[in-house]
Chain A
């Protein structure tokens, strides 16, 4: 059982403008229970101590950016898989709520326990990554449990928590409208989902894998062209709003 007062952090980004609304302080947590082939933060995967921080110290650190948050901004917990440290996040989020800081959680879902549910409750909005449209796809691409994703989205629906679905589009894998149709069919029954955001696969992380002496899992795959991404996003928005 992890000490709920101590968190394991990979890094911080103080100017987050693309990970939730407004200006956000991003906490990249260390450790992930998945292994997405296309992961662009491989340094966050291993669940080993990296930068250990007390919950109150993290709160104080986040408060240093309060003047930038104004109406829309706040903190985003990302990683890695933040829900691996749900106990820690409960401590931190309780304190942040008392300080009127808005919380966004960037997760791909996790099996529900009390702490996980509490974190989901305390967050103001959720960025939920969808790793696949079936157990097979999720396992094959990410060693990720589709069932966990379903559990999570169902719970979010239950508590009506504002959710934005994020999906990585990879050339020659899921970069076609039919995939989006299937995805929307699965997701359309959840009224808590505000929008679906598509993220174009990119090969930027290649540097990181090289520096970590790891083979690059996506060798041979090109980055998704911006033009195609924009087309697909437009299509997705259209279909989802219907």
Chain B
């Protein structure tokens, strides 16, 4: 049987062009969710087993098991199954569900300590096998200079992927079912032969070497699939093979690499093409289609990576960022929603809610109403999806981009990202005021200047100092990131993932900014109120007195919102002045994930009134308790941040109690759709809608840093939840639940 039977032909037949294949062959779906099927008995049985493993994992302190006796790669683990008699989609990272693989290529020391953290010991044979090997971590520390080391030590820059896989690379796994490995291998061999005809300059030699490595692992992938009983040399014949082959590609990637973000791409609409054909041919039923998607998603939920304690502090909750990019629209405004876009969301009901895979809806005003409403319903009932503005991203990235990690777009199979963590901008400000001295550790981190004199802080003077130290930081930040990616390419190159990219990829280097609202509010205080420095006995400024009021970021007030925008623009332009590794294009994100807490701990008191050690707001969120005009004013402020200077993404979290969204579920759904439409109409980029149920509200009371901009309201009542006494927070929790779910 011909794998391409009944497919509409096009450019995709002559060369690798998945986008073209999709455009010509997908079936738009404008209907509602009533066709969806519940979990089958088989799926429920498998989930029972999965839940057992998950519970055990929790009981054992967060890690179920570690395969300490071998190095992770495509062929180094025995086959693994959840339940051999029940599994539909086959393949696990190791031989046992949730048993984590060991990947020392990022860094051996960290690998050893990661094992020991959980009471395991890395096999001496593994350690021995790395004796003569330079890991990525080794390489980076061979070249880091003192400035970079100090910046890391003091938390000026944190989360650098210098001891763990950089991630942020999304292989175009769809190519495998569409073309089969034989064809893809042949293309790469042709590319290599062409390059070998060109002059052997450094870049060419490197690329030829990379292609060699890619080909090695492409062949390993074929062998890996053979071991599971599948021949992936030829195109997939049907949807079951399509899902399986695509998953094998992703599985190979996560066996080879342990990047922070190992995202899976934009796959649902692609897979739907095969499912639709099978439904027409009578090869499967809707029940089976859902069952296969359920089983596929189960596999994605089982993804695990071994992490160090420092990593877990930065990125709490054991995230894997298996980000699935859904929906979106074509350049001609036709939407890309298919029945499979619905099936993916249905897995949240069939398997229970889960933050992984990280389902990300590419929202457009042109999406069908039914789909918008279903997404809102799923948000309210499962709290498991996030939203990004396709109308904004499509201009730059076209209609076949994927999101890596949380907010970072790139053209699938054509672009890759060099992940660069983030810079602590409030610390840059404090460093500027303290003449280059770190306020917490009392170390000279930046060029020496006098500490700011004992007088009211003057906006222009402070801004001038700030620019000097920001420039100093930008320079060392670019150096650090260049070092990291040079070494990662050299010592831990992503062979399989890159084999599923075009040979000539465009590289984007992704810098980050943490603490935006703290700096914006600090400059606002300096400009509109009177801020005086307070010195400690070391002569450093470690606190501030503020007289008068000033506008806070998050109230839709241009006076301070424009400061925030300028900070982003200026930092981006500053970074652009420095040469990046491999001519990568400079991009910037305003994203912290949970590292906002760690950053805050390492930073002294700031002019905005934030206390020493107090957590930053996450991403681009306004600081907590400063949104005095409600959640939409907060959204309006964040929407102003210019995406053109922050194309690696602008992260915003919006926490809400469902009953505060509306009187009943229908109202809640409609209102959430209106909120999303309204927010994205203002060219905002991202919204993580965090829907909180009663149980979590207690947690919200105790840990407000986890629930930014929480909105809890009662009809007619003017209130700011965070300003209430604990008792009244408890009562309002009781009062806001009108309906039982």
CA distance A206 to B735 in the complex (A): 15
**Which residues of chain B are within 8 angstroms of A204 by Cβ–Cβ distance?**
714, 717, 719, 724, 728, 731-732, 735
* Contact B679 A12, beta carbon cutoff 8 Å: no
13 new A-B contacts at CB < 8 Å, known A16-B630, A41-B716: A11-B629, A15-B630, A17-B671, A22-B670, A22-B671, A22-B674, A25-B632, A67-B678, A68-B678, A73-B671, A73-B674, A205-B717, A226-B735
**Which residues of chain B are within 8 angstroms of A22 by Cβ–Cβ distance?**
670-671, 674
Q: Does B87 contact A (CB under 8 A)?
A: no
Q: Does A144 contact B (CB under 8 A)?
A: no
Q: How far is the CB of A37 from chain B (nearest CB, A)?
A: 16
Complex A-B: 8 CB contacts under 8 Å: A14-B630, A14-B636, A23-B675, A40-B717, A64-B636, A65-B636, A72-B670, A226-B737
CA distance A18 to B658 in the complex (A): 12
Q: Does B54 contact A (CB under 8 A)?
A: no
**Which residues of chain B are within 8 angstroms of A4 by Cβ–Cβ distance?**
none
Q: How far is the CB of B612 from chain A (nearest CB, A)?
A: 27
Q: Does B129 contact A (CB under 8 A)?
A: no
**For residue A197, which residue of chain B has the nearest CB?**
B715
Q: Select which of B556, B671, B682, B737 is within 8 A of A67 by beta carbon.
A: B682
Q: How far is the CB of B498 from chain A (nearest CB, A)?
A: 41
* Contact A14 B629, beta carbon cutoff 8 Å: yes
Q: Does B503 contact A (CB under 8 A)?
A: no
Most chain A beta-carbon neighbours within 10 Å: one of B661, B667, B671, B738:
B671
**For residue A76, which residue of chain B has the nearest CB?**
B716
Which residues of A in the span 194-237 have a Cβ within 8 Å of any Cβ on B? 199-200, 202-207, 223, 226, 230
Q: Does A114 contact B (CB under 8 A)?
A: no
* Contact A202 B714, beta carbon cutoff 8 Å: yes
CA distance A125 to B735 in the complex (A): 26
Q: Select which of A17, A68, A223, A230 is within 8 A of B735 by beta carbon.
A: A223
A18-B662 contact, Cβ under 8 Å, with A72-B670, A73-B674, A207-B728: yes
**For residue B719, which residue of chain A has the nearest CB?**
A204
**Which residues of chain A are within 8 angstroms of B717 by Cβ–Cβ distance?**
40-41, 204-205
Q: How far is the CB of A204 from chain B (nearest CB, A)?
A: 6
- 0 or 1 for each of B679-695: is its CB under 8 Å from A? (1 = yes): 10110000000000000
**Which residues of chain A are within 8 angstroms of B332 by Cβ–Cβ distance?**
none
A69-B718 contact, Cβ under 8 Å, with A12-B629, A13-B713, A226-B735: no
**For residue A168, which residue of chain B has the nearest CB?**
B716
Q: Does A145 contact B (CB under 8 A)?
A: no
A17-B661 contact, Cβ under 8 Å, with A23-B671, A67-B678: yes
* Contact A10 B731, beta carbon cutoff 8 Å: no
Which residues of B in the span 643-686 have a Cβ within 8 Å of any Cβ on A? 660-663, 667-668, 670-671, 674-675, 677-679, 681-682
Q: Does B85 contact A (CB under 8 A)?
A: no
Q: Does A149 contact B (CB under 8 A)?
A: no
CA distance A14 to B733 in the complex (A): 20
**For residue A65, which residue of chain B has the nearest CB?**
B632
Q: Does B546 contact A (CB under 8 A)?
A: no
Q: Which 7 residue pairs are nearest across A and B when measured between Cβ atoms? A: A68-B678, A14-B632, A14-B630, A18-B715, A67-B678, A67-B681, A15-B631
Q: Does B589 contact A (CB under 8 A)?
A: no
* Contact A65 B731, beta carbon cutoff 8 Å: no
**Which residues of chain B are within 8 angstroms of A166 by Cβ–Cβ distance?**
716
* Contact A17 B718, beta carbon cutoff 8 Å: no
A15-B713 contact, Cβ under 8 Å, with A23-B671, A41-B718, A67-B677: yes
Which residues of B in the span 604-633 have a Cβ within 8 Å of any Cβ on A? 628-633
* Contact A202 B674, beta carbon cutoff 8 Å: no
* Contact B716 A14, beta carbon cutoff 8 Å: no
**For residue B737, which residue of chain A has the nearest CB?**
A226
Question: Could you tell me which B residues sit within 8 Å of A by CB distance?
Answer: 556, 628-634, 636, 660-663, 667-668, 670-671, 674-675, 677-679, 681-682, 711, 713-719, 724-725, 728, 731-732, 734-735, 737-738
Which residues of A in the span 21-55 have a Cβ within 8 Å of any Cβ on B? 22-23, 25-26, 28, 40-41, 43-44
A23-B632 contact, Cβ under 8 Å, with A15-B711, A67-B681, A70-B674: yes
* Contact B670 A65, beta carbon cutoff 8 Å: no
**Which residues of chain B are within 8 angstroms of A106 by Cβ–Cβ distance?**
716
**For residue B656, which residue of chain A has the nearest CB?**
A15
CA distance A67 to B684 in the complex (A): 12
CA distance A58 to B724 in the complex (A): 28
* Contact B728 A12, beta carbon cutoff 8 Å: no
CA distance A124 to B732 in the complex (A): 30
**Which residues of chain A are within 8 angstroms of B738 by Cβ–Cβ distance?**
226, 230
Most chain A beta-carbon neighbours within 10 Å: one of B667, B718, B731, B734:
B718
**For residue A199, which residue of chain B has the nearest CB?**
B715
**Which residues of chain B are within 8 angstroms of A226 by Cβ–Cβ distance?**
734-735, 737-738
**For residue B630, which residue of chain A has the nearest CB?**
A14
Which residues of A in the span 54-97 have a Cβ within 8 Å of any Cβ on B? 61, 64-65, 67-70, 72-73, 78
Q: Does A162 contact B (CB under 8 A)?
A: no
Q: How far is the CB of A219 from chain B (nearest CB, A)?
A: 15
**Which residues of chain B are within 8 angstroms of A175 by Cβ–Cβ distance?**
none
* Contact A23 B716, beta carbon cutoff 8 Å: no
Q: Does A19 contact B (CB under 8 A)?
A: yes
Q: How far is the CB of A22 from chain B (nearest CB, A)?
A: 6
A18-B735 contact, Cβ under 8 Å, with A68-B675, A73-B674: no
CA distance A12 to B554 in the complex (A): 13
* Contact B678 A69, beta carbon cutoff 8 Å: yes
**For residue A206, which residue of chain B has the nearest CB?**
B728
* Contact A18 B675, beta carbon cutoff 8 Å: no
**Which residues of chain A are within 8 angstroms of B735 by Cβ–Cβ distance?**
200, 202, 204, 223, 226
A11-B718 contact, Cβ under 8 Å, with A17-B671, A18-B660: yes
Q: How far is the CB of A48 from chain B (nearest CB, A)?
A: 17
* Contact B629 A207, beta carbon cutoff 8 Å: no
CA distance A10 to B718 in the complex (A): 9
Q: How far is the CB of A207 from chain B (nearest CB, A)?
A: 5
**Which residues of chain A are within 8 angstroms of B631 by Cβ–Cβ distance?**
14-15
Q: How far is the CB of A5 from chain B (nearest CB, A)?
A: 22
CA distance A23 to B632 in the complex (A): 10
CA distance A199 to B735 in the complex (A): 11
CA distance A204 to B636 in the complex (A): 29
A203-B670 contact, Cβ under 8 Å, with A15-B631, A17-B662: no
* Contact B716 A70, beta carbon cutoff 8 Å: no
CA distance A13 to B555 in the complex (A): 11
**For residue B680, which residue of chain A has the nearest CB?**
A67
* Contact B677 A70, beta carbon cutoff 8 Å: yes
CA distance A166 to B716 in the complex (A): 11
CA distance A72 to B671 in the complex (A): 9
**Which residues of chain A are within 8 angstroms of B719 by Cβ–Cβ distance?**
204
- 0 or 1 for each of A123-155: is its CB under 8 Å from B? (1 = yes): 000000000000000000000000000000000
CA distance A166 to B630 in the complex (A): 24
Q: How far is the CB of A122 from chain B (nearest CB, A)?
A: 21
* Contact B725 A207, beta carbon cutoff 8 Å: yes
* Contact B630 A13, beta carbon cutoff 8 Å: yes
CA distance A68 to B673 in the complex (A): 9
**Which residues of chain A are within 8 angstroms of B671 by Cβ–Cβ distance?**
17, 22-23, 73
CA distance A83 to B405 in the complex (A): 51
**Which residues of chain A are within 8 angstroms of B663 by Cβ–Cβ distance?**
18
Q: How far is the CB of B291 from chain A (nearest CB, A)?
A: 37
- 0 or 1 for each of A163-174: is its CB under 8 Å from B? (1 = yes): 000100000000
**For residue B627, which residue of chain A has the nearest CB?**
A14
A68-B661 contact, Cβ under 8 Å, with A11-B718, A18-B714: no
CA distance A204 to B717 in the complex (A): 9
Q: How far is the CB of A125 from chain B (nearest CB, A)?
A: 15
CA distance A41 to B667 in the complex (A): 25
**Which residues of chain B are within 8 angstroms of A223 by Cβ–Cβ distance?**
731, 734-735
Q: How far is the CB of A100 from chain B (nearest CB, A)?
A: 15
**For residue A12, which residue of chain B has the nearest CB?**
B629
**Which residues of chain B are within 8 angstroms of A207 by Cβ–Cβ distance?**
724-725, 728
CA distance A223 to B663 in the complex (A): 19
CA distance A72 to B673 in the complex (A): 12
**Which residues of chain A are within 8 angstroms of B728 by Cβ–Cβ distance?**
204, 206-207
